[in-house]
Chains A and B, each alone.
Chain A
């Protein structure tokens, strides 16, 4: 039982009335199978209607920003893996590009195109997770199992390129650590040939499905004004109708060379968020195809020996390579003083790194602008007045990833 004091303005005079109502408190999380991550929400419920929600976050806070102040630049890349772990390569590349901007390093065109391929593959992997999970939360298990194996195929490509699947640590400051090998190209071509069929099949299962639409249309909507006030970015902002995409507005890694559309929604509800991600997967496919078609020849990394590990055989035979190897491994590389901000279009929106360098071996301060952390605060507002089942759906459609949320 809780007491709500209401102030009613009648006849120009404020009258305080006390309304007694039976509200129940529902503790959703921190470990709840339907939240897909460790989030706690204490919900005040009027029957099945949500009156208020109090989110608690920080369950997997690992002090990334503090850790970064103690680590050399190349050792921060594995930390970025663990932000949005559904699309680690985008975080890795964003970090490399931040350091490259600080040290004034121009990455060769081939490396930029390779990065684009990797980043767009991870965007597809990220959106597969989000969109299929929305389907699961509406009860459509089949589509989830069917499409999820394609995320697996993407991970297999990553494995060929960097040896890891989830926390990739892919690429290096200055470019890529290695080119795609024969197997990787073969897997990539197989993926491009077969994935569209699976994606359109999944799309046809849910897109105009009566049950799916009944559940998602008008569920957890947010207006464009409100989304901007809450500093939304990425698919969630675009679903509300704002065509802001970092790849288009501040092109990095040669995105200006590619022809693709920025899908937008109108109502910012769960259905629009789902559809925007769906359309973005098709756009990512287009980008990858263009990157393969126009792939330039040339080196895969810039000439920055103080950041890029020399080849092993050189380390054993050349004095200079040995020195650079030692300096990188021991973290003895000095960088210029200054402040840079670099942002990339992550799976969830604008992922930005704000780096203050005092010239030392580690950042003096590194702030990560995590899109999830910023937009999740609008969640209570978005689910007020909704049913509990809609709240679950709204959360999965926002794609809140605990790693990015808690950093």
Chain B
């Protein structure tokens, strides 16, 4: 059984959360790892293996119909061990104006995740960006190349181990800027 924790949750957000939670529990069972409401946004964490099944369900089920993929992006939490990489999908039902966020976590060794391009054509570049920035390997993606950085780049720059400023510069130390 997963647990739920809510921060700044309005009545509408709680109702939406409970509806989607019931649907996911009955269809995915224990693959729904946890859920919460963060600033009026229901957030669901789903097992990576079943992420596409989950997105398809939310898109096609008549009770939810999250047919619009608003955005998709990655994030890196180096301290989180086996779940250091997060992939976030934000969905929108334009008829009822309901929005939810689906997250899945994975480790650096196991950074392959199935592509969402079969559900939304627009996921193509969003996934290329997530690959470019964080190195997510989208399995089944039709054209998984870097998109904003140059092809020759040999690392994924949004990962937290890469400091923003050039390490060889000693005139840009934090202490000179009161940091």
> Interface on A for B, CB 8 Å cutoff?
57-58, 61, 63, 65-67, 69-70, 101-102, 104, 226, 228-232, 242, 244, 249-250, 330-332, 338-341, 343, 350, 352, 354, 356, 364-365, 367, 369, 373-378, 406-407
Contact = CB atoms under 8 A, between A and B. Distances in A.
* Contact-size category for B: 35 or more
Contact of A378 (B69, B121, B149): B121
B158 A373 contact: no
B71 A367 contact: yes
A268 to B, nearest CB: 15
Given A61-B148, A339-B41, A229 B157 contact: no
A331 B39 CA distance: 24
A228 B68 contact: yes
B45 to A, nearest CB: 12
B1 interface: no
Contact of B70 (A104, A332, A340, A369): A369
A398 B169 CA distance: 42
B106 interface: no
A194 B5 CA distance: 55
Contact of B71 (A250, A354, A356, A376): A354
A374 B157 contact: no
B31 interface: no
Interface of B: 7-8, 38-39, 41, 43, 67-71, 73, 75-76, 88, 90, 94, 97, 99, 101, 120-122, 124-126, 129, 133, 146-150, 157-158, 164-165, 178-179
Nearest to B164: A70
A341 B67 CA distance: 19
A57 B121 contact: no
Contacts of B178: 330-332
B101 to A, nearest CB: 7
Contacts of A406: 148
B71 A58 contact: no
Contact of A341 (B8, B41, B94, B122): B41
A352 B38 contact: no
Given A229-B122, A367-B73, A65 B68 contact: no
Given A231-B120, A352-B70, A373-B129, 18 more contacts: A57-B148, A58-B148, A65-B133, A67-B164, A70-B164, A231-B71, A231-B126, A331-B178, A331-B179, A340-B38, A341-B101, A343-B70, A354-B71, A356-B75, A365-B76, A367-B71, A367-B75, A377-B121
10 nearest CB pairs, A to B: A231-B122, A58-B148, A367-B73, A369-B71, A61-B148, A230-B122, A377-B125, A330-B178, A229-B121, A365-B75
A338 B38 contact: yes
B34 to A, nearest CB: 14
Contacts of B157: 63, 66
Nearest to A63: B157
B1 to A, nearest CB: 23
A222 to B, nearest CB: 11
A340 B125 contact: no
B122 A377 contact: yes
B67 A228 contact: yes
B53 to A, nearest CB: 19
A66 B158 contact: yes
Nearest to A54: B143
B164 A231 contact: no
A340 B98 CA distance: 15
A332 B178 CA distance: 9
27 contacts: A66-B157, A67-B164, A70-B164, A70-B165, A226-B121, A229-B122, A230-B120, A231-B68, A231-B69, A231-B70, A249-B97, A250-B97, A338-B39, A339-B38, A339-B41, A339-B43, A339-B101, A340-B41, A341-B39, A341-B101, A354-B88, A369-B71, A374-B71, A375-B122, A377-B122, A377-B124, A377-B125
Contacts of A364: 75
B7 A338 contact: yes
Given A66-B164, A367-B71, A244 B88 contact: no
A374 B39 contact: no
Nearest to A341: B41
A331 B69 CA distance: 35
Given A231-B120, A354-B88, A374 B125 contact: yes
A230 B119 CA distance: 10
A57 B8 CA distance: 39
B131 to A, nearest CB: 13
A229 B119 CA distance: 8
A343 B129 CA distance: 20
A339 B164 CA distance: 22
A226 B8 CA distance: 36
Nearest to B178: A330
B138 to A, nearest CB: 15
Nearest to B159: A66
B79 to A, nearest CB: 10
B133 A58 contact: no
Contacts of A104: 8
